[in-house]
Structure 1
Amino acid sequence: MTFASNLTLSASTRNSWAEALRMPAIVALSFVVVATIIAWSVAPQLFTTYSPVIGVPADKLLGPSTAHWFGTDHLGRDLYARVVYGTASSVSSALVAVVIGVLAGGFIGLLAGFLGGWVDVVLARLVDVLLSIPKFLLAVIVVTAIGFETINAAIATGVSAVAIFARVTRAEVIKTRQATFVEAAFLSGGSRWYILWRHVLPNASRSVLPLAVLQFGESILVIASLAFLGYGDPPPASDWGLLISIGKDYLKWPWLVYAPAFITILTVLSVNRISRWLRKTD
């Protein structure tokens, strides 16, 4: 390859990266929101000086103000502090759910799509059974069986997501397995497992990343819903769903519901918008 060809290739690579990094303003804003949420979960003490569990009884049920951005609850606790400290539980639980879904579902889809035959038939029927059960109902069944805790709610949410990851991975593996470069690798003497890990898996995983991002947002909703129903950690925990559940008993002070609900919705919408952008970006 000549020096001019190297320059042309380098320029095209830089242009492709520039096009990938050029994103709409709404996507950039979504990344800012998600980065803020992650910062809240990693170092909540940097964003508030109030305690999430200790309140001032004389300050109970105060409306939003410069002193208390989201107001205070019925025990005088700063609601903004409780939302910020509750982020770690919500985000980490959603990540656990996504990891379970990606690893278990991806493994099932990889085996079914690559091996084919009776393995594909058996695993495909298993996935069909899981898909026939509503995801939230399956999550409720699993969390009821293993116990009422936030980590168990995350495991239950991850189990409910296994089927969709398995179905998508299987479809991508079958499409990749029929590609010309995979057939060439077989003809050149590559072993089945080498081709699986070296060629099929990297190419089939391209569609999994946007799905994983989308599932992260959905997992936040499912885990918040389970916490709302009482399947998460009990008070004084400050999971977003639990905060909404507590706030519904104080309808005269609507910020108790609006604040955690707004943060939950904003986070999920931002994650969904990033997922849509990733699907359109090669």
Structure 2
Amino acid sequence: MSLAFSSSRPDRSAERWQSLRDIPPTVALSFAVLAVVIGWALTPWLFTGHDPISGLPAAKLLAPSAEHWFGTDHLGRDVYARVVYGTASSVGSGLIAVTIGVLAGGSIGLVAGFLGGWVDILLARLMDVLLAIPSFLLAVIIVTALGFTTTNAAIATGVSAVAVFARVMRAEVLKTREATFVEASFLLGGSRSHILFRHVLPNASRSVLSLAVLQFGLSILVIASLAFLGYGDPPPASDWGLLISIGKDYLKWPWLVYAPALVTTATVLSVNRISRWLRKAD
């Protein structure tokens, strides 16, 4: 027994190593980009020594250099430092939006698909109404009602994504509910709650995972767009969308727009690539 167990351990290690080697280079690069972004969000002071709020008037509108990687703005503030310190707000608000969408939309889809009947019909029609409204327009309406802050923009973005998560979860629950192992659990006397949380939810939530990753990137983009239009935190905040909005007034110094825009684009594209990889792996 012990010999067989010990001989199987190298095989498992080889399988894990092979699975890591099978990760496409673009996916590995996307993970690296996200690792840097997460580092910026959690410990921004480790990546820059410049103050993101206070600047030197004598150093205003300097081009990118070794000292100022992304140049400086009209107040002499280091743009790289402002991008780094704005990551926590931009990424954190995206996580808030995805959490709202997954919890609210996933719960609605789970209940609708598992119970069926009039409950399914009522919730499905409600989701159809939400899907009929463009998500960005719905987010603008909600954040206007709540107030112009980045947190409210995140809440509005999350609410606008509820219907998408509900539809995906409902479809997966309907498919899983008809599976043979679910019917067998019913025949063996399993309760509805046991079958729901032990069999249906774990199998139906796998597709929601890749959707959540994709929605995370989309949420960052939507929240940046809301901040660009002035629906987020006001200056001296350094949300990525707000930095782009400020930079558009200084087109003779294009790095004020290019730097935060490239960081936003790289983050969203990395998240989308990881989402496609997870969907194929699933």
TM-score (norm 1): 0.95
Deviating runs (4+, > 2 A) in structure 1? 2-22
* Structure 1 partner of 2:54: 54
The alpha-carbon deviation at position 62 of structure 1 amounts to 0.3
* Structure 1 partner of 2:112: 112
Q: Take 2:211 and 2:180, find their aligned partners in 1: how far apart are those partners?
A: 26
Structure 2 counterpart of 1:252, one-letter code: K
Question: Could you tell me whether the CA contact under 8 Å between 1:149 and 1:232 is conserved in 2?
Answer: yes
* Structure 2 partner of 1:247: 247
- CA deviations over 1:134-154 (Å, ceiling 9, x no partner): 010010000001110000000
Q: Take 2:24 and 2:240, find their aligned partners in 1: how far apart are those partners?
A: 29
CA 1:19–1:188 in 2, change beyond 3 Å: closer, same or farther? farther
Alignment of 1:234-273 (within 5 A): 234-273=234-273
The alpha-carbon deviation at position 67 of structure 1 amounts to 0.7
* Structure 1 partner of 2:45: 45
CA 1:8–1:200 in 2, change beyond 3 Å: closer, same or farther? farther
- CA deviations over 1:137-187 (Å, ceiling 9, x no partner): 010000001110000000000001101000000000000000000000000
* Structure 1 partner of 2:220: 220
* Structure 1 partner of 2:139: 139
CA 1:67–1:146 in 2, change beyond 3 Å: closer, same or farther? same
- CA deviations over 1:34-57 (Å, ceiling 9, x no partner): 010000000000000000000000
Question: Could you tell me whether the CA contact under 8 Å between 1:210 and 1:278 is conserved in 2?
Answer: yes
Alignment of 1:1-282 (within 5 A): 17-18=16-17, 20-21=19-20, 22-282=22-282
CA 1:9–1:120 in 2, change beyond 3 Å: closer, same or farther? farther
Question: Could you tell me whether the CA contact under 8 Å between 1:27 and 1:274 is conserved in 2?
Answer: yes
The alpha-carbon deviation at position 20 of structure 1 amounts to 4.0
Q: Take 1:128 and 1:8, find their aligned partners in 2: how far apart are those partners?
A: 55
Q: Take 2:243 and 2:233, find their aligned partners in 1: how far apart are those partners?
A: 11
Equivalent pairs, count: 281
User: Superposition RMSD on alpha carbons, in Å?
Assistant: 1.8
Q: Take 2:179 and 2:6, find their aligned partners in 1: how far apart are those partners?
A: 30
Structure 1 SS opposite 2:253: coil
Q: Take 1:5 and 1:175, find their aligned partners in 2: how far apart are those partners?
A: 39
Q: Take 2:215 and 2:52, find their aligned partners in 1: how far apart are those partners?
A: 28
- CA deviations over 1:86-123 (Å, ceiling 9, x no partner): 00000000000000000000000000000000000000
CA 1:9–1:175 in 2, change beyond 3 Å: closer, same or farther? farther
The alpha-carbon deviation at position 194 of structure 1 amounts to 0.8
Structure 1 counterpart of 2:47, one-letter code: F
TM-score (norm 2): 0.95
Gaps of 5+ in 1: none
What is the percent sequence identity of the aligned residues? 74
Q: Take 2:184 and 2:18, find their aligned partners in 1: how far apart are those partners?
A: 32
Q: Take 1:48 and 1:179, find their aligned partners in 2: how far apart are those partners?
A: 53
- CA deviations over 1:53-94 (Å, ceiling 9, x no partner): 000000000000001000000000000000000000000000
